[in-house]
């Protein structure tokens, strides 16, 4: 049930992530830390003696509700004290409303993006009742003529019904504590460093480091073995520099949480990600100096070493994003 909804919602938000939605499930990392997967971006949950910290809230209120049930199952009778949003992308913040009893923390730039995103959603899907009716009328008309066309219309109609279910429940809930620079959160004898390095994946990315839990939460600053990771607004040079900084601190953590997919151990994944971004960046910079056009670069440069990465066929989009950054 949730799986279906999540698939639809991932299409609605059109976030450039390679994640495939699946059933919501948790992985226990240590006695005090679990990561919940499957409802959008990864949600990390850290227990302390004075309460729980949750990082990111999934893609929808429906998914967040399910995640909360999992949190209660693993850590019964412990209050959730803080929710930290790592950035505004909808697959990380759209379950916030279910954490309103906690203090919600995010970068100061987050709220504006979140509300713009909501306005666009309403503009696009707000009149879903009329659109669903229109689609269903068309389904009835075409069924006799061609099954395939009817199938497509039924899919569109199902998608709009999922959007309707989502929008009827969703209340955009921005952080109430806005941070603009590195901050320290102390709770239950543990220290959580909340780090802000400027624009990289977005202009409001937060990285969280807990030495007591040996935990580094990179979220969408780490896409493990993936191409197609650079947005048009990303700052690739700064992203590389953030990876460098966290690689230098590798003695302080063991478990690294990417935005999507499995947890990785130690800094190797960060090194691999930094090297990938460096190669793309340097390749595009060099090709521009040689006077190549964007089309020529995309055609001539294959970067075969990354064939095993997910979405290798979309590596041209990362090249394009670097090209546009160099033009800014
Ligand atoms: Zn993101």
Distance CA 126, CA 221 (A): 32
Question: Which pLDDT band holds residue 8 (cuts at 50, 70, 90)?
Answer: very low
- Which one-letter DSSP state was computed for residue 21? P
For the full predicted model, state whether its pTM sits above 0.75. yes
Tokens of 78: 């412990």
Calculate mean pLDDT across residues 46-75: 95
Residue percentage of the chain with pLDDT more than 90: 71
CB 200 within 8 A of CB 238: yes
Going from the Cα of 186 to the center of ligand 1, the distance in angstroms, rounded, reads 26
Q: At what angle do helices 315-327 and 236-248 cross, to 10 degrees?
A: 110
Better pLDDT: 184 or 137: 184
Residue with the bigger pLDDT between 21 and 307: it is 307
Q: Compute the distance between CA of residue 283 and CA of residue 279 in angstroms, rounded to an integer.
A: 6
What pLDDT sits at residue 7? 32
pLDDT given at position 3: 31
Q: How far apart are CA 16 and CA 195, in angstroms?
A: 23
| d(CA 53, ligand 1 centre) in Å | 20
- Can you tell me the mean pLDDT for 40-50? 95
Cα–Cα distance between 87 and 56 in angstroms, integer?
8
Neighbours of ion ligand 1 (CB under 5 A): 89, 220
Distance 189 CA to ligand 1 centre (A): 30
Rounded to the nearest whole angstrom, what is the distance from the C-alpha of residue 110 to the centroid of ligand 1? Answer: 12
Taking residues 308-318, what's their average pLDDT?
A: 93
For residue 52, CA distances in Å to 19, 32, 148, 309 come to: 26, 9, 50, 35
Q: What percent of the chain has pLDDT above 70? A: 90
| 3-state SS, residue 157 | helix
Write a three-state SS string for 79-98. CEEEEECCCCCHHHHCCHHH
With 60 as the cut, is the pLDDT of residue 21 above it? no
Distance 143 CA to ligand 1 centre (A): 40
Are 255 and 42 spatial neighbours (Cβ–Cβ below 8 Å)? no
Q: What is the mean pLDDT of residues 256-266?
A: 94
pLDDT at 220 over 70: yes
pLDDT digits (tens, 9 = 90+) for 143-170: 555 666 677 777 877 887 787 888 889 9
Residue carrying the six token digits 């997910």: 310
What is the distance in A from the centroid of ligand 1 to the CA of 64?
17
State the greatest distance between any 2 C-alpha atoms of the chain, in Å, as a whole number: 68
Ligand 1 centre to CA of 201 (Å) is 7
The one-character DSSP state at 205 is -
Does position 98 have pLDDT exceeding 70, yes or no? yes
Q: Using the predicted structure, report yes or no on whether residue 126 has a pLDDT greater than 90.
A: no
- The confidence score (pLDDT) of residue 145 equals 56
Q: Does position 6 have pLDDT exceeding 90, yes or no?
A: no
Q: What is the pLDDT of residue 148?
A: 66
The rounded Å distance from CA 87 to ligand 1 centre is: 7
Rounded to the nearest angstrom, the distance between the alpha carbon of 292 and the centre of ligand 1 is: 31
> For the chain, how far is it from start to end, CA to CA, in angstroms?
43
Is 61:68 a contact under the CB 8 Å cutoff?
Answer: no
Q: Does residue 136 or residue 83 have the better pLDDT?
A: 83
Among 168, 200, 169, 180, smallest CA distance to 89 is for 200
pLDDT band at 13; cut points 50, 70, 90: very low
pLDDT of residue 300: 83
Q: How far is the CA of 248 from the centre of ligand 1 (A)?
A: 24
């Amino acid at each position: 049930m949730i799986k279906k909804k999540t698939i639809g919602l991932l299409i609605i938000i059109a976030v450039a992530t390679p994640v495939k939605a699946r059933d919501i499930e948790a992985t226990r990392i240590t006695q005090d830390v679990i990561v919940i997967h499957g409802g959008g971006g990864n949600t990390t949950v850290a227990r302390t003696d004075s309460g729980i910290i949750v990082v990111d809230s999934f893609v929808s209120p429906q998914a967040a509700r399910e995640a909360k049930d999992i949190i209660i199952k693993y850590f019964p009778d412990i209050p959730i004290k803080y929710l930290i949003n790592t950035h505004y992308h909808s697959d990380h913040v759209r379950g916030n409303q279910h954490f309103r009893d906690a203090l919600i923390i995010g970068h100061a730039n987050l709220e504006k993006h979140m509300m713009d995103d909501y306005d666009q959603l309403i503009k696009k899907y707000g009149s879903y009742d009329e659109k669903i009716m229109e689609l269903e009328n068309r389904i009835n008309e075409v069924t006799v003529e061609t099954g395939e066309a009817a199938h497509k219309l039924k899919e569109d109609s199902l998608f709009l019904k999922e959007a309707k279910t989502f929008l009827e429940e969703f209340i955009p809930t921005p952080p109430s504590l806005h941070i603009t620079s590195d901050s320290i959160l102390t709770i239950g004898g543990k220290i959580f460093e909340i780090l802000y390095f400027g624009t990289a994946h977005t202009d409001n990315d937060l990285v969280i480091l807990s030495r007591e839990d040996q935990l580094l939460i990179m979220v969408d600053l780490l896409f493990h073995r993936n191409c197609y990771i650079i947005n048009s607004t990303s700052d690739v040079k700064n992203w590389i520099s953030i990876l460098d900084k966290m690689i230098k601190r590798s003695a302080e953590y063991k478990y690294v949480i990417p935005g999507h997919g499995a947890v990785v151990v130690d800094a190797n994944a960060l090194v691999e990600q930094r090297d990938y971004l460096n190669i793309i960046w340097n390749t595009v910079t060099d090709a521009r100096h040689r006077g190549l056009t964007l089309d020529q670069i995309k055609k001539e440069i294959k970067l075969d070493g990354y064939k095993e990465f997910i979405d290798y066929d979309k590596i041209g989009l990362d090249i394009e994003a670097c090209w546009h950054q160099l033009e800014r």
